[in-house]
Amino acid sequence: MTKDIFAPIKSKKKGKPLYKMFIDGQWIEAKTKETFEVSNPANGKTIAHAQTATIDDARKAVKSAFDARKGLSEMYAVDRAKILKKAAELLMEHKDEFVDVIIAESGKPVSVTEGEVKAAAERLMYSSEECKDIYGEEIRGDMSPHKTDKFAMVIRQPLGTVLAITPFNYPLHIAICKIAPAFAAGNTVICKPASKNPICMIMFARMMELAGAPKGSFQLITGGGSGIGDFLVNHPNISMISFTGSTSVGKHIAQICGMKKIHLELGGKAPAIVLNDCNLDIAVKECLKGALTFSGQRCDAISRILVEKGIADDFVKSVLKEIKKWKMGDPKKKDTLIGPLIEKKAIEKVDELVQDAIHWGAKLLSGGRYEGLFYEPTVLDRVTPKMRIAWEETFGPVVTIIRVDNYEEAIKIANESDYGLDACIFTTDIDKAMDAGMRLEDGTVSINASPSHGLGLFPFGGDKDSGIGREGIRHSLLEMTKVHTVIFRKTYKPEK
């Protein structure tokens, strides 16, 4: 019989696994022994329990991370690289267990979940390579007559401790996009995953432990963000907060965190501009992929499609044909593309936005109904800017079509949003593609493709209410290190 490597991280409660937290190199229960339930959105059943950390638990984690700083920053980069590589290998070895848990705690269709686990492992591998890429620059002073005898060595140093607070929608991948570069740079890391689905990250902490992460260098704490969040965010020994989540929580963190580096990846309302000259087949398929993957529960989801009137009827006709392929059902089944939303509040919000749009004159062409947490893939045509769904984050499987007179009107509406995370345009006109690429006020503009940020190859992040800072290979590393300058004065002068 093979050994269950996850055995040390859990016990049992009411017949279900009770997961522990990984603090100071040990698997522990919350000080008060308080726990919370994690349930499966597809059927409402409790699948596990997790620890509700107290302030004392959080304090212990911060102290341990602080004590581990020196050791980790002095560890050779090549050794940090080995740990990240090993964690990636372990993750892939146990990928089926991770896939099963993510489906159960998130309701995510299996095809999307498999992609998430694979992307997370790849991101760990990229970060292990990045350990070797931490370099600065050398600056000569002889540009100035007063500094001819000086030169500076500008090096990049770890910040100290990075606090990673992560959302429910890509529970493994988003957390690893923070943890891996932070660790690669030599920072100790505390991760606080979303309470809706923390189990996959608790399991990942075991991967880091088995990969050889030194005591205190990586810790995993669970429990309500509103309970321990403020304490952690505020703590002077946290050097940086890397947060992904809603704009409201992000703004709260920014207000209370004090003198810390912050990186915020927040909400979005991605526009897709579809022009008369586009390749209709590509535009329709990409718009549906962008709007419906993981039931639209993505910050980069396409949630308003601005279609030029010359092609609007054909676009809608094709959307209605194509949307039939988006099968709703059991997320464990291979052919399911639409699973449940994460919770009741989420489904009520989506329905509220859909009903508001219908009330103000939008045409419901498909879907618009729900049962349990399953919301049908929905098409709303003739949405106008006065409807809430044109502006508020939907986070549901709704294809929202706004008909526009021309390209300039599309750019204007796209840029009027408070959000600025992602945008895309479908056109065969290179001039308009370039123009939109430059003028759309979003962190990333994709041409003839829906937004997608799986591996972090390209820098990703938002402007306006969508956040501060950029994530991605190299970019995360730059955000998670500080510039340290050493100036040399040359005192030796060779005899002439």
258 lies in the binding site for ligand NAP (CB under 6 A): no
224 lies in the binding site for ligand NAP (CB under 6 A): yes
Stretch that binds ligand NAP, among 65-73, 193-201, 210-218, 303-311 (CB under 6 A): 193-201
Give me the 285-324 binding string for ligand NAP, x by CB under 6 A, dash otherwise. --------------x-------------------------
462 lies in the binding site for ligand NAP (CB under 6 A): yes
Q: Residue from 41, 107, 109, 167 that binds ligand NAP (CB under 6 A)?
A: 167
- The answer to whether the beta carbons of residues 41 and 56 sit under 8 Å apart is no
Choose among 462, 461, 458: nearest CA to 126.
458
CB of 491 to ligand NAP, least distance (A): 50
85 lies in the binding site for ligand NAP (CB under 6 A): no
Residue 299 annotated among the catalytic residues of the structure: yes
265 lies in the binding site for ligand NAP (CB under 6 A): yes
**Cα 46 from Cα 33, distance rounded (Å):** 18
Smaller CB distance to ligand NAP: residue 128 or 242?
242
Q: Residue from 51, 161, 166, 446 that binds ligand NAP (CB under 6 A)?
A: 166
415 lies in the binding site for ligand NAP (CB under 6 A): no
Stretch that binds ligand NAP, among 84-92, 201-209, 218-226, 474-482 (CB under 6 A): 218-226
Choose among 47, 46, 37, 111: nearest CA to 331.
111
Query: Tokens 């992904």 — which residue?
Result: 244
**Cα 337 from Cα 472, distance rounded (Å):** 27
HSE-CB for 7 with a 13 A CA cutoff: 4
**Cα 489 from Cα 458, distance rounded (Å):** 39
Stretch that binds ligand NAP, among 243-251, 273-281, 347-355, 430-438 (CB under 6 A): 243-251
464 lies in the binding site for ligand NAP (CB under 6 A): no
Token couple for 154: 């500008």
CB of 141 to ligand NAP, least distance (A): 41
Residue 265 annotated among the catalytic residues of the structure: yes
- Tell me, by CB under 6 A, how many residues bind ligand NAP: 33
What is the longest distance spanned by two Cα atoms in the chain?
89
CB of 174 to ligand NAP, least distance (A): 6
Angle between helices 407-415 and 430-439 (to 10 degrees): 20
**Cα 208 from Cα 72, distance rounded (Å):** 14
Choose among 163, 221, 208, 206: nearest CA to 188.
163
Q: Which regions of 78-159 does DSSP assign to beta strands (E)?
A: 137-140, 150-158
- The answer to whether the beta carbons of residues 53 and 20 sit under 8 Å apart is no
267 lies in the binding site for ligand NAP (CB under 6 A): yes
Task: Please identify which of the residues 122, 130, 209, 265 carries the catalytic annotation.
Answer: 265
* Residue 87, helix vs strand vs coil: helix
Q: Residue from 17, 331, 467, 469 that binds ligand NAP (CB under 6 A)?
A: 467
194 lies in the binding site for ligand NAP (CB under 6 A): yes
Stretch that binds ligand NAP, among 42-50, 94-102, 187-195, 314-322 (CB under 6 A): 187-195
268 lies in the binding site for ligand NAP (CB under 6 A): yes
Q: Amino acid identity of 156?
A: R
CB of 232 to ligand NAP, least distance (A): 7
**Cα 238 from Cα 127, distance rounded (Å):** 22
**Cα 126 from Cα 115, distance rounded (Å):** 16
432 lies in the binding site for ligand NAP (CB under 6 A): no
Query: Tokens 């829906």 — which residue?
Result: 450
Q: What is the 3-state secondary structure (H, E, C) of 358-383?
A: HHCCCEEEECCCEECCEECCEEEECC
CB of 348 to ligand NAP, least distance (A): 14
Task: Please identify which of the residues 200, 257, 299, 424 carries the catalytic annotation.
Answer: 299
Residues in the chain: 496
421 lies in the binding site for ligand NAP (CB under 6 A): yes
- Interface residue list for ligand NAP (CB under 6 A): 165-169, 174, 192-196, 224-226, 229-230, 233, 244-246, 249, 252-253, 265-268, 299, 393, 421, 462, 466-467
Kindly list the catalytic residues: 265, 299
